[in-house]
Structure 1
């Protein structure tokens, strides 16, 4: 039986059962067209992931003790034990009844067949395995197989649904192999799998939306027409994008090795030199954190009110312009775009000077852009914790607070960052009145200005 923690996780992620809303998309009436059995089977198959049976009535849990305990990714983890009790429980919704499907037109059926052909090309094989069969090929329990599948970002499915391919089993088995070789523990394997799932999920959504926007802007399609035409374009893009993805991952990993290992000691030494003064923000206790980084935010002013007045295309254009401009300037400055949240970007850099240059470039470039409103910007030099592609710690929190205090078109830094930058003749630091900052008490910010011409610029600026 699954432990309490696993049951809680299943509840949190919605477990593996359909609600009426979830089946509504595939229900739409009886077989009005009088399909033959073969045609009906083909039409059901066209629905891909929706080709699932509604759950039958609850089955009685097997009260016999399990012969082999669930050992996670261990070498004896696969056994013939019954499926997890949580996974066995279903709600009564018509014993074994298949959800009715709508009657598709000939055009819709051709569309579905094309979708399946593209899916077959992407997955490399037909979906022929159930959870238990996939787990057996991986040599783990169904519970462990589900944990890895969920970590990739996919929902649970019913036990008897043939939703997986041999390629699914082979790919997930690689993480199991790393655990059994002692290179990873199970928690780390799950975390690495989740990193891939979350990043690729965002990546493919971004790519599809970029292609849709291209069709709308350059070929004057409606949104619905653009999405249909994107499907026609995708087959030619799969291999080039796949090749670029593999190359970019290796390149990014190489860059990360430099950021996270080679330059760590020099960054911490630079941080210590920048905190020699005894009056530098004593409220910011970040000494236990391992990495020295300049952390910055850029926040568009009045974004919420402006977005309410814009059409869909105008808003999309503004958001894309803001994010692309920020991403380019941060990259040119040697920093890293950590994440974007609507009207705000979070970035970091390895030195206070690099952080200052990026902050100045963002403020100047956004101020000179006719499409974008002004931005509030901050940058703080301090220690951070890097986990799951994000950064954490008091330095990040203080940078966020300073951003909200900054006037439109200005950049604020804290006193320790100002002290670190004052040794350079490139910057002018203008002390501001002390402010009470939530969680930090009294903070003495400074206005960051450029003392001489130059700095980061876009090639097309």
Structure 2
């Protein structure tokens, strides 16, 4: 009797049922991917150009413009042969589906058209919001979406329908969430991989496999932290971008003659007064060619973490990092100068990092899509390229603003021709007295 009961169990564990096989073939996710033994190479996500405006459900999707045609993710809709899995592979597939179900909150049961019907819009409009989140288009008949997808995207549709947002703003807000969370989750997964490689001596492939086992315990804490951080960051941004804007502009205008003030008032497209700073590692390109991948990753991570900490403690905002360069801003010229000095001093004292060129410019900027724009940003970038290793350059207006403080020493430099600005008279920024930003570690 034991043999009779065990035989079906063994068969059930070593072969897919007809239902499982059909689900695996229809599933656009990685259900039939074996447990990884080496890093998986993925094709880059195609850039999508969003359509403009939400179409009502009764409006059929347009096929006249090639931009409206769906582009398919690699492998979507294809029927690949699925070999008989081992017990380990079956457990791996089951865990993938269970974790996906937990993350998505439901099974994928909806096509584009069905999701659009739930949202009360056309398939075209549903696709626009999906693309704005950063995901590729899929075949119309693929059941890739959940009821939770429809409910979440419908929130933006409702905001437009109730008049709180226009369509372009709704797309922009959706894109902000998609782009920021995409970078965030990649950062988080890579941090977990690095942790397992460094502390548990796994290979890269082993580390990625074990991250999958660890992640379920982290989902709820990270989700809670994300919601809390978003509210905190929104509160801080409201202060920076609304409440304190007028005081910043008044600070920018101090000491200017009437002609300069009149010109400043005409500069309405650049509504924020900010100290804009760059820090750029010296000889990064040549050093990166000589380093192993792990050493290079360690250097970049150290550079970014040191800069992020200094900027945060100094009351500034890290706008973005690009490998060997960071861009930040601060609400006063003094805060921008303190951050610049701390960056230069900390990087110079770090045995892992090469020296850095730093600049800071006080002026008007335009803030859009989490980035900043305008001549102030461009001038700061130009001054960084002119600075000698280990030094900080400011322009004449910033030097004039900082000379009011006894904490800084400004050393005039010979005039330089700067592309797009003509002749510029930079100054070296030095610390006149001890002190500055104190870090929490040695």
> Which TM-score band (shorter chain)?
0.7 to 0.9
Contact 1:264 1:291 in 2 (8 A): yes
**Residue equivalent to 2:46:** none
Shift of 1:308: 1.1
Shift of 1:386: 0.1
Contact 1:287 1:383 in 2 (8 A): no
Shift of 1:291: 0.3
Distance 1:204 1:71 in 2: 28
Q: Structure 1's 80 and 288: CA in aligned 2 closer, same or farther, altered over 3 A?
A: closer
Matches within 5 A, 1:24-423: 37-44=18-25, 48=29, 72-73=53-54, 77-79=56-58, 81=60, 84=63, 98-101=78-81, 103=83, 105-106=85-86, 107-276=88-257, 288-423=269-404
Q: Structure 1's 90 and 299: CA in aligned 2 closer, same or farther, altered over 3 A?
A: closer
Shift of 1:100: 2.0
Distance 1:237 1:224 in 2: 20
TM-score by length of 1: 0.82
Shift of 1:206: 0.1
- Secondary structure of the residue aligned to 2:165 is coil
Q: Structure 1's 223 and 276: CA in aligned 2 closer, same or farther, altered over 3 A?
A: farther
The runs of 4+ residues in structure 1 deviating greater than 6 Å are: 33-36, 88-91, 277-280
Distance 1:405 1:90 in 2: 45
Matches within 5 A, 1:426-445: 426-445=407-426
Distance 2:106 2:407 in 1: 59
Shift of 1:101: 3.4
Distance 1:176 1:83 in 2: 19
- Secondary structure of the residue aligned to 1:226 is helix
- Secondary structure of the residue aligned to 1:157 is coil
Distance 1:42 1:172 in 2: 26
Contact 1:363 1:411 in 2 (8 A): yes
- Secondary structure of the residue aligned to 2:178 is helix
Q: Structure 1's 355 and 89: CA in aligned 2 closer, same or farther, altered over 3 A?
A: closer
Contact 1:296 1:355 in 2 (8 A): yes
Distance 2:78 2:111 in 1: 17
Q: Structure 1's 100 and 352: CA in aligned 2 closer, same or farther, altered over 3 A?
A: same
Structure 1 unaligned spans of 5+: 1-32, 52-69
Contact 2:28 2:144 in 1 (8 A): no
Distance 1:222 1:348 in 2: 39
Shift of 1:115: 1.0
- Secondary structure of the residue aligned to 2:218 is helix
- Secondary structure of the residue aligned to 1:48 is coil
Shift of 1:104: 6.3
Shift of 1:99: 2.9
Contact 2:403 2:410 in 1 (8 A): yes
Distance 1:363 1:88 in 2: 50
**Residue equivalent to 2:6:** none
Shift of 1:274: 4.7
> Residues 151-179 of structure 1: CA distance to partner in whole angstroms, max 9, x if unpaired?
00000001111100000000000000000
Shift of 1:137: 0.6
Shift of 1:276: 3.9
Shift of 1:421: 0.2
Contact 2:25 2:79 in 1 (8 A): no
How many pairs align? Answer: 403
Distance 1:178 1:407 in 2: 51
Shift of 1:103: 2.8
Q: Structure 1's 89 and 309: CA in aligned 2 closer, same or farther, altered over 3 A?
A: closer
- Secondary structure of the residue aligned to 1:453 is coil
Shift of 1:316: 1.1
Contact 2:279 2:357 in 1 (8 A): yes
